[in-house]
Amino acid sequence: MNRKKKLTQIHKKRVKAVAAKNSGKKKSGYVSKAERAKLEAAAKAEALEHTESE
């Protein structure tokens, strides 16, 4: 690999890393199975209350 190609590869890699770091997260954080169950139960309870109040 010649010197110029190697330098351009390194530069592109660094630019890509900085862009990825500054772009923000696309995925939400990890939610445990217990936490998902709590959220689901709360959503069901809310839906049940909503249907009963109508």
Locate the domains of the chain by residue range. 3-52
Q: What is the pTM of this model?
A: 0.45
- Contacts of 31-35 with C-beta under 8 Å, sequence gap 24+, read none
Give residue 54's pLDDT band: very low, low, confident or very high (50, 70, 90). low
User: For all residues of the chain together, what is the average pLDDT?
Assistant: 90
State the pLDDT at residue 41.
95
CA dist 22 and 37 (Å) reads: 33
Q: What is the pLDDT at residue 51?
A: 80
Rounded distance between C-alpha atoms, residue 19 and residue 17, angstroms: 5
Question: What's the rounded mean pLDDT across residues 16-30?
Answer: 87
Q: Does the pLDDT at position 8 exceed 70? A: yes
Distance of CA 52 to the CA centre of its chain: 36
Percent of the chain residues past pLDDT 90, beyond the cut: 61
Residues 21, 4: Cα–Cα separation, whole Å: 26
